[in-house]
Structure 1
């Protein structure tokens, strides 16, 4: 079990580790902890440790072929100003996978990393 003072980790399978590192560090504010590209890299943002596993990594090799595609699961990143983040990312040419969706808890939009993994940008509602 992860202790409260440790990172919560998520593994994303990616086609190109270097492209994924560039996407997460340049566009979404992650910091590179370790890289063994082209097989693997480890990036962090706050308490989230994102393990980026390329085709040569042990994590990718252990995944059955019928389970290797991106699903509906996604990492959820909280932002202070969703509209400003959308504008900033659009200027870099990144496409979004959804329109902004608003609900009682806040507003969100989806984009994908270079391998097609979903990322949700979420601005909580003011209370």
Structure 2
């Protein structure tokens, strides 16, 4: 595991910490770092530490109510085979927020966690 001082942390406000932990560990390859559900947990994938703050966490209380709706910000996870990941996640019953979009750097698709936070799966262009 990456040393704590080398982790980049992102906070997501979630409705259900346990559901969020399950989502990120089962479907996206994160591992549990701390689990203090129902208030808080953090999961790690490489140098990314994702802070999952439930409604009773201090992180959630510090945010004004009008700013808690998920927006366009998202974590960006690089995958080797986007089509295989889409198939795997569809088979697990997950739904996507967008269709596959291709651009100059590669292909991407958006899905949401149980609280509506966005995750971008990105396959870089080869060659």
- Structure 2: distance between partners of 1:65 and 1:7: 28
1:101 corresponding residue in structure 2: 101
TM-score by length of 2: 0.96
Superposed, 1:1-127 pairs within 5 Å as: 6-127=6-127
| Unaligned segments of structure 1, at least 5 residues | none
Runs ≥4 residues deviating over 4 A: none
CA shift digits 1:69-105 (9 cap, x unpaired): 1011000000000000000000011000000000110
Aligned residue pairs total: 125
What is the DSSP-based 3-state SS (H/G/I as helix, E as strand, rest coil) of the residue aligned with 1:120? Answer: strand
What is the DSSP-based 3-state SS (H/G/I as helix, E as strand, rest coil) of the residue aligned with 1:108? Answer: strand
| Unaligned segments of structure 2, at least 5 residues | none
